[in-house]
């Protein structure tokens, strides 16, 4: 298991939180919660070591569109980058109905 | 022609198996009555999995939701089969025990609260072996206390099934609801094959496994009380019925003499067939079965 953390700038306060996904093979769990401030923090625990660059690429892309001040926790059980992207988008959808 | 519908019922049904643990639990309740206890944002996760390099889950794969079902106070505890095979660790075990004990406290205060256990589990989580074993002992003790006040209903939807220590918990419950896809057994097929050889039990022979552990067989031999389709509506209806029926006059697990007699009557010199068990143990003879 590897732990990875990232920070991104945020422009917008959000109010909702979201919990989506499951830590099952090829899937992941995302917990998204609002925070006070002008940045977003991402905390990842993944069962597959050595993919920091891939995680950064997926999250860079996600935060190129999303600007909420949130704390995101990801518990990953080997999801593909596509699945990660979809779960992140689902979390946003659930938190901002 | 256009007015005719040819879709069989299973096309329109909402699958229970395809739902995760939280969604399964929520489908059972009266709308707008639910409250989740120790949910994912409380982050009561396993402290032992990260130490062993295993990613934990924020709710430790155990979902506890309180509310009303058919207007009656009920707590549902659902195990998430996709996370570590629905295994019971220190935290998920403590959540289940606490939920059962709180239901018991409710009953003592004059508000009987039924418990519904949605079991998709291989039993003890091997990474937390002794703590998981202790948790199962606590769960069984709590079921035994609660079931004198209110019914404890086990639902095994599938497809993980219910094995290991949690099959004992299922055995102690007041009623068991199963689908054809579900399985119930003490040792799982892989474990039996590993310990006793492929001649004893071929874990790749799905027809054999379901003929012995499957929901249809368990129901036909009187070890499950209701056999339902993989359908949210049917499962909800069965659960509601058993909540209304309340505490059974005699729990199946109290019928020690009956089952001892039945096991002694089996001829162990030859292979007992699933069909024989259906015929000799079948549930029209007061085994506590109801469906």
Question: What 3 state SS string does B182-205 have?
Answer: CEECCCCHHHHHHHHCCCCCCCCC
Size of interface A-B (CB pairs under 8 A): 47
- The answer, yes or no, to whether residue B282 has pLDDT greater than 90, is no
Interchain contact, B55 vs A73, CB within 8 Å: no
pLDDT band at B283 (very low <50, low <70, confident <90, very high): low
Phi, psi of B275 (to 5 degrees): -65, -40
Contact yes or no for B20 and A29 at CB 8 A: no
Q: Does B51 touch chain A (CB under 8 A)?
A: no
CB-CB under 8 Å, A33 with B83: no
Q: What are A67's two structure tokens?
A: 């600007």
Residues in A closer than 8 angstroms to B57, CB to CB, are 22-23, 29, 75
- Residue B56 contacts A, CB cutoff 8 Å: yes
Which of B41, B53, B55 lies at the smallest CB-CB distance from A23? B55
Is the CB of residue B41 less than 8 Å away from at least one CB of chain A?
Answer: yes
What's the DSSP call for residue B252?
G
In a 3-state reduction of DSSP, which class is residue B288?
A: coil
Q: pLDDT for B89-107, tens place per residue?
A: 999 999 999 999 999 999 9
Nearest Cα of chain A lies from the Cα of B45 at a distance, in angstroms, of 11
Q: Which CATH number applies to B9-281? A: 3.90.226.10
Q: Where are the domains of chain B?
A: 9-281
- Taking contacts as CB-CB distances below 8 angstroms, the residues of chain B near A33 are 41
SS3 at position B38: coil
> What is the enclosing helix (H) or strand (E) of B208?
helix B206-213
Contact B39, B59 (CB under 8 A): yes
Q: What is the largest CA-CA distance in chain B?
A: 64
DSSP state of B243: H
Contacts of A23 in chain B (CB under 8 A): 55-57, 61, 82-84
Decide if B17 contacts B232 (C-beta within 8 A): no
Opening angle at CA B242, ends B239 and B244, nearest 5: 110
| Residues of chain A contacting residue B20, judged by C-beta atoms under 8 Å apart | 22
**Partner-chain residue, chosen from B20, B39, B56, that has the shortest CB–CB distance to A22:** B20
Task: For residue A11, count CB atoms less than 10 angstroms from its CB and return exposed for 0-12, middle for 13-18, buried for 19 or more.
Answer: exposed
Q: Is B40 on the interface with A (CB under 8 A)?
A: yes
Q: How far is B120 from chain A (nearest CA, A)?
A: 13
Question: CA–CA separation, A88 vs A20, rounded Å?
Answer: 9
Residue B204 pLDDT exceeds 60: yes
Q: Chain B neighbours among A 24-53 (CB < 8 Å)?
A: 24-25, 27, 29, 31, 33, 45-47
Q: In what order do the strands lie in the sheet with B62-69?
A: B35-37, B62-69, B72-79, B114-118, B152-156, B175-179, B226-228
Contacts of residue B89, Cβ cutoff 8 Å, sequence gap at least 6: B46, B48, B49, B60, B125, B127, B128, B131, B132, B135
Domains, chain A, in order of start with CATH, read 2-95 (3.30.230)
Q: What is the pLDDT of residues B55-99, one digit of tens each?
A: 999 999 999 999 999 999 999 999 999 999 999 999 999 999 999
CA distance B173 to B264: 24
Phi, psi for residue A17 in degrees, rounded to 5: -125, 165
pLDDT tens, per residue, chain A with 97 residues: 999 999 999 999 999 999 999 999 999 999 999 999 999 999 999 999 999 999 999 999 999 999 999 999 999 999 999 999 999 999 999 999 8
pTM confidence score: 0.94
Residue B103: phi, psi to the nearest 5?
A: -60, -40
Per CB-CB distance under 8 Å, the chain B contacts of A25 are 82
CB contact under 8 A, A31 and B57: no
The helix (run of H) or strand (run of E) holding residue B95 is helix B90-108
On chain B, the residues whose CB falls within 8 A of the CB of A91 are: none
pLDDT at B194 over 60: yes
| pLDDT, tens digit (0-9, with 9 covering 90-100), for B109-125 | 999 999 999 999 999 99
- What SS3 state is found at A75? strand
């Amino acid at each position: 298991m590897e732990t990875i953390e990232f920070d991104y700038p945020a422009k917008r306060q959000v109010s909702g939180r979201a919990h989506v996904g499951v830590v099952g093979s090829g899937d992941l769990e995302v917990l998204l919660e609002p925070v006070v401030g002008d940045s977003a923090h991402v905390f990842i625990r993944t069962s597959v070591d050595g993919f920091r660059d891939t995680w950064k690429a997926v999250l860079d892309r996600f935060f190129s569109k999303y600007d909420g001040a949130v704390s995101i926790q990801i518990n990953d059980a080997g999801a593909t980058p596509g699945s990660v992207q979809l779960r992140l988008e689902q979390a946003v959808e659930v938190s901002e109905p | 022609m256009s007015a005719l519908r040819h879709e069989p019922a299973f096309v329109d049904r909402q699958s229970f198996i395809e739902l995760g643990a939280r969604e399964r639990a929520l489908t059972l309740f009266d709308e707008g009555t639910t409250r989740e206890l120790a949910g994912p944002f409380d982050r009561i996760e396993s402290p032992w999995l990260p130490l062993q390099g295993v990613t934990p889950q924020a709710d430790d794969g155990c979902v506890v939701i309180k509310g009303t079902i058919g207007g009656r106070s009920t707590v549902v505890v659902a195990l998430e089969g996709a996370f570590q095979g629905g295994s019971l660790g220190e935290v998920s075990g403590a959540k289940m025990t606490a939920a059962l004990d709180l239901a018991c406290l409710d009953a003592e205060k004059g508000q009987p609260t039924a418990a519904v256990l949605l079991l998709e589990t291989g039993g003890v989580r091997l990474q937390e072996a002794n703590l998981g074993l202790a948790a199962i002992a606590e769960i069984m003790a709590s079921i035994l206390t609660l079931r004198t006040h209110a019914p404890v209903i086990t639902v095994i939807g599938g497809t993980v099934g219910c094995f290991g220590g949690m099959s004992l918990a299922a055995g102690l419950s007041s009623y068991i609801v199963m689908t054809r896809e579900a399985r119930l057994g003490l040792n799982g097929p892989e474990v039996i094959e590993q310990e006793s050889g492929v001649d004893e039990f071929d874990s790749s022979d799905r027809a054999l496994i379901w003929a012995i552990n499957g929901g249809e067989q368990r129901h036909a031999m009187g070890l499950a009380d209701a056999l339902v389709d993989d359908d949210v509506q049917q499962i909800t209806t069965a659960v509601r019925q058993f909540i209304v029926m309340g505490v059974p006059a005699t729990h199946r697990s109290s019928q020690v003499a009956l089952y001892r007699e039945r096991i002694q009557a089996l001829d162990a010199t030859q292979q007992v067939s699933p069909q024989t068990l259906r015929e000799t143990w079948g549930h029209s003879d007061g085994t506590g079965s109801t469906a």
